[in-house]
Amino acid sequence: MGGFWIFMALTAAMGLSIFLSLPIVYSKRAQGRWATGLNAAAIGILIFLLADVFSDVSTILYPSGYVANLTYSLAFGIAFLVAFLGLYFVDNLPRNAPRGTGTGMGATLSVDGGPRTTALIIALGIGLQNLTEGLVFGVNWTAGAIGILAVVFVGFFLQNVTEGFPIASPFLGTNARRGVSMMIGLFLVGGIPTLLGGAIGYYWSNHLFLVIFDALAIGAIAYVILPMLRVAFRPLDSREASIRRNRLVYIGAMVGFLIGFAVNAI
Angle between helices 115-143 and 32-61 (to 10 degrees): 40
pLDDT digits (tens, 9 = 90+) for 57-99: 898 899 877 778 899 999 999 999 998 998 888 777 765 544 4
Structural domain range at position 231:
4-265
> What is the C-alpha to C-alpha distance for residues 76 and 210, in angstroms, rounded to an integer?
10
Going from the C-alpha of 264 to that of each of 45, 155, 159, the distances in angstroms are 11, 5, 6
Exposure on the CB side of residue 144, measured as CA atoms within 13 A: 1
CA-nearest of 257, 180, 262, 251 to 34 is 251
In one-letter notation, the amino acid at residue 188 is L
| pLDDT reported for residue 148 | 65
Q: What is the pLDDT of residue 194?
A: 92
pLDDT greater than 90 at residue 12? yes
* Residue 189 pLDDT exceeds 90: yes
The H or E element that residue 255 is part of is helix 239-265
Q: What is the reported pTM?
A: 0.73
Mean pLDDT, residues 151-168: 81
Give strand pairing partners of 94.
108
Number of domains present in the structure of the chain = 1
pLDDT(150) > 80: no
Mean pLDDT taken over the chain? 81
